Amino acid sequence: MIVRSLENIVGTEEETTGETWTSRRFLSKKDNVGFSVNDTIIKAGTESYFWYKNHIEAVYCIEGEGEIEKVETGEVFPIKAGTIYVLDEHDKHYLRAKTQMRMVCVFNPPLVGKETHDENGVYPLLTE
């Protein structure tokens, strides 16, 4: 059994920060459960371009308000607490936060834990 709390993750190597986001990694590849789970904060008033070409990501919004735009089609979907979106086609997308957003993110394959987005918005597929 694995039991972890946010207060024990904040400020450790399990917390990774980018320009528009902070991700607290609850589960990663080393936990050997086949997926990873992050508690992620998206800063208010920001726009982020992401493309998870190496991962499937499911995102459940538990706080805040924003929108996601699918680059390929230009479709825009509102995101608020209680909304889930799944990037099941490795969708290139923009995430815009009107207010600070808090998201629970599940990745498959699991993240190693140190990933940050490259110049194409991609998390590399790390092995350790």
Amino acid in position 39? D
**What is the secondary structure of 52-100 as a DSSP string?**
-TT-EEEEEEEE-EEEEEETTT--EEEEETT-EEEETT--EEEEEESS-
- Pairing of β 101-108 and β 47-51: unpaired
**Class of CATH domain 6-108:** mainly beta
The predicted pLDDT at position 126 comes to 53
Query: What tokens were used for 88?
Result: 């099941």
The stretch 112-127 carries a mean pLDDT of 60
Per-residue pLDDT tens for 31-68?
999 999 999 999 999 999 999 888 899 999 999 999 99
Domain spans, the chain: 6-108
